[in-house]
Amino acid sequence: MSARPCHAFVTGGGRGIGRAIALALAGSGADVTVTFHERSEPARAVTGEIQALGRRAAALSLDVGQPADVRAAFEKAQDELGPIDVLVNNGAMIQEKPFSEISVEDWDRMQAVNLRGPFLCCQQVMDGMLARRFGRIVNLTSIGGQWGGTRQVHYACAKSGVIGLTRSLARLGAERNVTVNAIAPGLVATDMPRSELASAEGRSKLAAIPAGRVGTVDEVAAAVAYLVSEGAAYVTGQTLNVNGGMLFR
């Protein structure tokens, strides 16, 4: 990360990968806003950890699928910590369900959280980043968005869309030093994939990982820290795979 003052906004920053990302960015010198949807306690605990590192922090409630909620959260974050230099779209949901049982409501909620959410959040920061000629956006996609998922069709479609969003915005921002990249984790040791690992398909995925293990949240966070650093200023529109060799792209 550059020596300039930096405000990073991390959706879903209270637990798992989001928490690790928030702490990694704070350790690199950023003030950090973390958001939560339903559980405030983990997010507020993270802000305490960030403040212990000597950085400013805020925890805000946010339903990323709701435009009014998104606008209000970003306005409050900027009022508290200043313009947003780094956006990490990490907040997401997952659901295991046979394709024939996915309802229209399941589909719509999945797209609202996992695709419309990053779109709305990017809209809140992009103009400001372009005007200031600096910005870093990292969107969390998934290996599922690259190779599909027979029990996660709606999830895979949303995460594939995140890759398209990333590439499009990278072209928009490149001339003004605004980079937009994606990270596609494979299986990572968090609460979210537990149901997947309990299924026969999930167990077969675990057995097929060349590295012989699931990834850690800190390994994903390190990839985010690289993409927002000055060393990655010439990297944009890319999807960085953090998957132990499960898929090469």
29, with CB counted inside 10 A (0-12, 13-18, 19+), is middle
Catalytic residue check, 155: yes
Say which of 143, 155, 161, 190 is annotated catalytic: 155
CA atoms of 76 and 60, how far apart (whole Å): 8
Reading the block at residue 203, the tokens are 């167990």
CA atoms of 118 and 112, how far apart (whole Å): 9
Phi, psi of 41 (to 5 degrees): -60, -45
Q: C-alpha distances in angstroms, 113 versus 57, 167, 168, 217?
A: 24, 19, 19, 21
Q: In sequence order, what are the beta bridge partners of 36?
A: 61
CB 170 within 8 A of CB 180: yes
Indicate which residues carry an active-site annotation. 155
